[in-house]
């Protein structure tokens, strides 16, 4: 089922999860071990992130180094198929522009279509580790909107090769990212909303947000998006903060604010268990507030400590 259908048909609040493919060399069992406990909450769908190759330096036998490109987390398409087969739950693969040519993206979309995957979250991706700013693949896309255009074209049967006439029409439901605290490269929220609207007007059907730890950012974003003429459903992205290190890591990677009450409580916590408890309570409070405001879906980033998300869900449902 498409994400939009899940949203339209939900009679009570639904949840969705986001996972990362395992690093190369690990088994798919690590994904099953993570997801199995969540079965009791019947997630409507599971998002699987997409990762570009990273540049690494490998030591040669003579002690010198050579530069190599390695995809440390391949397998998004396969994991999506494995999730759908094992759990009968819809999978939402992410696709990114960075590091991929249009043809590679098209081939991934064809594989997904053959596997019966109905959804895609279309993203730009971040700059590569060795680049200061995002640099598009020479044969790829610059912005998520361009990727949305490609998927919309495929949904109309238009393939990258001109000589494919009467191509099969895929039927992907396209989601895109939104940023309640604005995307860090954007000069202001208004400019960011302008480009978000382009993605929706271009054919995306819903928005999943960057994580936020103060619901006021989400509500303000909902309102601003609406005022801007963006009607698409907005799915709130939620992540527990459960250790002191995250207080600096999360803002520097994701460019979001951590409220002072939360950071103060974590700084004062004496044990890991106490940090988990604080993170769980904060997440539960955020979710209760969102549910009280009739937000129909909660999307959880499970990276790091899935048991904290599990414990929060246990208290909520
Ligand atoms: P875009 O929508 O292309 O926007 C990027 C920036 O460019 C914004 O500042 C925007 O305002 C601006 N912009 C957009 N269009 C134009 C234009 N035409 N001209 C000028 N400026 C423009 N990353 C991964 O690598 N893999 C993942 O699986 C992944 N999953 C994610 C899931 C979610 C829910 C979110 C919120 C993020 C995810 N990311 C992932 C990170 C994401 O790729 C980065 O945040 C990236 O920096 C921006 O992606 P985007 O799709 O929002 O880009």
pTM of the model as a whole: 0.97
DSSP structure class, residue 168:
P
Partnered with residue 250 across adjacent β-strands are none
pLDDT value for 69:
86
Largest Cα–Cα separation, the chain: 65
Q: 139-178, pLDDT tens digit by residue?
A: 999 999 999 999 999 999 999 998 999 999 999 999 999 9
Q: What is the 3-state secondary structure (H, E, C) of 62-131?
A: CCCEEEEEECCCCCHHHHHHHHHHHHCCEEEEEEECCCCCHHHHHHHHHHHHHCCCCEEEEECCCCCCCC
Q: Where are the beta strands (DSSP E) in 5-44?
A: 14-19
pLDDT means over runs of 10, the chain (317 residues): 97 97 95 97 98 89 89 96 98 98 98 98 94 96 98 97 93 98 98 98 98 98 98 98 95 97 97 96 98 98 92 97
Please tell me the distance from the alpha carbon of residue 263 to that of residue 283, in angstroms, as a whole number.
Answer: 13
pLDDT value for 57:
86
Q: How many domains does the chain have?
A: 1
Candidates 18, 29, 106, 281; catalytic one:
18
pLDDT value for 54:
86
* Neighbour-count burial for 277-310, b at 16+ CB within 10 Å, e otherwise: bbbbbbbbebbeebeeeebbbbbbbbebbbbbbb
Question: Measured in angstroms, how far is the CA atom of residue 52 from the centroid of ligand 1?
Answer: 14
The parent domain of residue 195 ranges over 3-316
What is the CATH classification number for the domain harbouring 93?
Answer: 3.20.20.220
Which residues have any ligand 1 atom within 6 Å of their CB? 49-50, 94, 96, 123-126, 143-145, 177, 183, 185-186, 191-192, 195, 199, 208, 210, 237
Determine the residue of 151, 183, 184 to mutate for testing ligand 1's pocket, defined as the one with the most ligand atoms within 8 A of the Cβ atom. Answer: 183
Query: Measured in whole angstroms, how far is the alpha carbon of residue 188 from the centre of its chain?
Result: 22
Please tell me the distance from the alpha carbon of residue 254 to that of residue 129, in angstroms, as a whole number.
Answer: 15
């Amino acid at each position: 089922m498409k994400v939009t259908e899940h949203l339209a048909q939900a009679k009570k609040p639904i949840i969705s999860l986001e996972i990362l493919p395992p690093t190369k060399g690990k088994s798919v069992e690590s994904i099953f071990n993570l997801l199995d406990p969540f079965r009791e909450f019947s997630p409507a769908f599971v998002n699987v992130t997409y990762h570009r190759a990273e540049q690494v330096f490998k030591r040669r036998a003579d002690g010198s180094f050579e530069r190599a490109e390695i995809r440390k987390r391949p397998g998004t398409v396969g994991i999506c198929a494995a999730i759908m087969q094992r759990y009968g739950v819809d999978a939402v693969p992410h696709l990114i522009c960075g590091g991929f040519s249009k043809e590679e993206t098209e081939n991934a979309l064809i594989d997904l279509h053959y596997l019966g995957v109905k959804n895609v979250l279309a993203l730009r991706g971040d700059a590569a580790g060795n680049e200061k700013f995002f640099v598009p693949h020479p044969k790829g896309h610059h912005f998520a909107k361009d990727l949305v255009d490609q998927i919309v074209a495929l949904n109309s049967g238009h393939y990258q090769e001109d000589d494919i006439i009467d191509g099969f029409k895929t039927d992907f439901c396209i989601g895109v990212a939104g940023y309640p605290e604005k995307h860090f490269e954007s000069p202001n929220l208004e400019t960011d909303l302008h480009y978000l609207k382009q993605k929706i007007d271009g054919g995306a059907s819903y928005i999943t947000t960057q994580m936020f730890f103060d619901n006021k950012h989400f509500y303000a974003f909902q309102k601003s998006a609406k005022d801007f003429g963006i009607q698409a459903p907005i799915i709130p992205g939620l992540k527990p903060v459960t250790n002191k290190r995250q207080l600096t890591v999360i803002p520097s990677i994701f460019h979001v604010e951590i409220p002072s009450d939360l950071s103060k409580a974590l700084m004062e916590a004496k044990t890991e268990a106490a940090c988990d408890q604080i993170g769980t309570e904060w997440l539960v409070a955020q979710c209760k507030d969102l549910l009280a405001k009739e937000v129909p879906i909660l999307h959880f980033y499970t990276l790091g400590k899935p048991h904290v998300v599990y414990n929060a869900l246990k208290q909520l449902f």
